[in-house]
Amino acid sequence: MKTEQTDTGILETWTVEEVAEAFDRGEIAVIDVRTPQEYMLEHVSGALLMPMNDFEPTKLPVGGEKRLVFHCGSGARSEKVARRMLEAGLGPVAHMEGGFTAWKQARRPYIGTDPASGAPKRVEGSS
């Protein structure tokens, strides 16, 4: 995990492996900040959707047992959202380095779309 001290708190950047392991253990909630269309096509199974365009830091459950880890397609939007959380005085928070692209490159399982039917289907990774 990388950390950066900002004026409003510590921004954590987690690797795909760190996110996957903590998510499997039930220690974190993964928040997808991509658009609903991106989420519908493919997403991390169990990730919650809160698109960046409608993002309201005060609407998220903070201070509970689970740390919030944001992700997007590449890591750029999730970093912006994590910084907004810190600016709102809400933390600790983290974002996933490389976003969903890195998740798929790491061959982690996710929910995709069956091209024949348009239905959701589980895509197994090999990690």
| Average pLDDT of the segment spanning 106-127 | 91
**Is residue 126 predicted with pLDDT exceeding 70?**
no
pLDDT given at position 21 = 98
Q: Tell me the whole-structure pTM to 2 decimals.
A: 0.92
Yes or no: domain 2-119 corresponds to CATH 1.10.10.10:
no
Specify the long-range contacts of residues 25-31, CB closer than 8 Å, at least 24 apart. Answer: 26/66, 27/66, 27/67, 28/66, 28/67, 28/68, 28/69, 28/94, 29/61, 29/66, 29/67, 29/68, 29/69, 30/69, 30/70, 30/71, 30/96, 31/60, 31/68, 31/69, 31/70, 31/71, 31/81
Structural domain boundaries in the chain = 2-119
Tell whether the model's pLDDT for residue 80 goes beyond 60.
yes
pLDDT digits (tens, 9 = 90+) for 81-110: 999 999 999 988 999 999 999 999 999 999
